[in-house]
């Protein structure tokens, strides 16, 4: 990956169908705008299940890692996981995610700015809404849990997907956007966020 100036870091964010249905598009965008990030790509679409599967399996380790994480989560709660095979667990999660993510329109976005990946993850909150911190988007706007979603054989409804690392961001952006769908532009407030000398304010 070519390293650019840190203020140009980009991340991929998807408002999932429940976020759109809950009328939270504006609120979610506002959170990322408020912190100082710049929106450089945005579109609404209904993704097909194959596109969703490809999104989650862009990382060849995702099936194994997510399966292991899920098994660990069950054990930590003193529960027996539905299977000891991580890949079997993830196959079910993936089926549920494909159904969930393709059930209606989503809003795909690319946000740019200093530490875009980490800042967006911080504002978004942890994956499972039950334990997402108060003050994060998931903590403030949704109440689902694996305890609710697993027995009903559905994906946990957590409003948003956000890239977990710069590497993930790069491949996810390429998966959802073409170069021509992205806009490079300057924003006035970048001056106060990033300018070194701040010598253009006083008249
Ligand atoms: P994220 O990066 O915070 O979105 O989380 P992951 O990449 O680890 O997981 C992606 C999706 O997989 C989540 O949105 C959930 O739908 C599902 N998932 C992840 N971990 C678990 C788990 O422990 N149990 C269940 N049932 N689903 C999970
Ligand atoms: Mg992830």
Instruction: Record the pTM.
Output: 0.96
**Banded pLDDT at 126 (limits 50, 70, 90):** very high
Which residues form the domain of 32? 6-177+185-194
Q: Using CA atoms, how far apart are residues 23 and 130, in angstroms rounded to an integer? A: 20
Q: Is the dihedral of CA 164, 166, 171, 174 positive or negative?
A: positive
Over residues 3-29, the mean pLDDT reads: 95
Q: Kindly write down the DSSP assignment for every residue of 63-131, as one continuous string.
A: HHHHHHHHHHHHHHTT---S-S-HHHHHHHHHHHHHHHHTSS-EEEEEEESTTHHHHHHHHH--SSGGG
Over residues 67-84, the mean pLDDT reads: 94
Q: Is the pLDDT of residue 24 over 70?
A: yes
**Banded pLDDT at 6 (limits 50, 70, 90):** confident
How many Å lie between the centroid of ligand 1 and the Cα of residue 160? Answer: 11
**C-alpha gyration radius of the chain:** 18
Over residues 166-182, the mean pLDDT reads: 97
Q: What ligand is nearest to the CA atom of residue 126?
A: 1
The answer as to whether 200 is a domain residue is no
CATH number at residue 141: 3.30.70.141
How many Å lie between the centroid of ligand 2 and the Cα of residue 191? Answer: 32
Give how many domains the chain has, as a whole number. 1
Looking from the CA of residue 121, the nearest atom of ligand 1 is: 3
Looking from the CA of residue 100, the nearest atom of ligand 1 is: 16
Q: What ligand is nearest to the CA atom of residue 74?
A: 1
Put residue 78 in one of left, alpha, beta given phi > 0 → left and psi -120 to 50 → alpha: left
Task: Give pLDDT, residue 2.
Answer: 52
The answer as to whether 58 is a domain residue is yes
How many Å lie between the centroid of ligand 2 and the Cα of residue 190? Answer: 29
The answer as to whether 199 is a domain residue is no
Q: Using CA atoms, how far apart are residues 163 and 73, in angstroms rounded to an integer? A: 21
Task: Give pLDDT, residue 5.
Answer: 84
The answer as to whether 201 is a domain residue is no
**Banded pLDDT at 3 (limits 50, 70, 90):** low
| Overall size of the chain counted in residues | 203
Rounded to 5, what percent of the chain is helix, strand, coil? 50, 10, 40
Task: Report yes or no: 65 and 89 within 8 Å, Cβ to Cβ.
Answer: no
pLDDT digits (tens, 9 = 90+) for 31-51: 999 999 999 999 999 999 999
Q: Does ligand 1 have an atom closer than 6 angstroms to the CB of 169?
A: no
The answer as to whether 189 is a domain residue is yes
pLDDT digits (tens, 9 = 90+) for 78-103: 999 999 999 999 999 999 999 999 99
Q: What ligand is nearest to the CA atom of residue 156?
A: 1
Task: Report yes or no: 86 and 68 within 8 Å, Cβ to Cβ.
Answer: yes
- Across 146-167, b (16+ Cβ under 10 Å) vs e yields beebbeeeebbbbbbbbbbebe
Over residues 43-61, the mean pLDDT reads: 97
**């390429």: which residue's tokens?**
174
Task: Give pLDDT, residue 94.
Answer: 97
The answer as to whether 203 is a domain residue is no
Would you call 109 exposed, middle or buried from its count of C-beta atoms within 10 A (0-12, 13-18, 19+)? buried
How many Å lie between the centroid of ligand 2 and the Cα of residue 62? Answer: 8
Q: Is the pLDDT of residue 1 over 70?
A: no
**Whole-number average pLDDT of the chain:** 96
Would you call 40 exposed, middle or buried from its count of C-beta atoms within 10 A (0-12, 13-18, 19+)? buried
The answer as to whether 57 is a domain residue is yes
Q: Does ligand 1 have an atom closer than 6 angstroms to the CB of 11?
A: no
| H-run or E-run covering 176 | helix 166-176
């Amino acid at each position: 990956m070519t390293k650019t100036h840190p203020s140009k870091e980009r991340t991929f964010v998807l408002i999932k169908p429940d976020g759109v249905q809950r009328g939270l598009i504006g609120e979610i965008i506002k959170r990322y705008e408020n912190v100082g990030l710049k929106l450089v790509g945005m579109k609404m679409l209904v993704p097909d299940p194959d596109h969703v599967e490809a999104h989650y399996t862009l990382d060849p380790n995702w099936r194994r890692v997510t399966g292991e994480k899920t098994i660990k989560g069950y054990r930590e709660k003193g529960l027996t996981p539905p299977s000891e095979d991580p890949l079997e667990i993830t196959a079910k999660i993936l089926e549920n995610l494909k159904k969930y993510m393709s059930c209606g329109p989503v809003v795909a976005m690319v946000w740019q700015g200093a530490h875009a990946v980490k800042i967006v993850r911080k504002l978004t909150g942890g994956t499972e809404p039950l334990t997402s911190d108060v003050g994060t988007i998931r903590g403030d706007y949704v109440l689902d849990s694996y305890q609710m979603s697993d027995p009903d054989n559905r994906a946990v409804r957590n409003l948003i997907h956000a890239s977990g690392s710069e590497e993930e961001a790069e491949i996810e952006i390429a998966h959802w956007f073409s170069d021509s769908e992205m806009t490079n532009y300057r924003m006035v407030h970048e001056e106060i966020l990033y300018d070194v000398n701040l010598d253009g304010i006083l008249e």
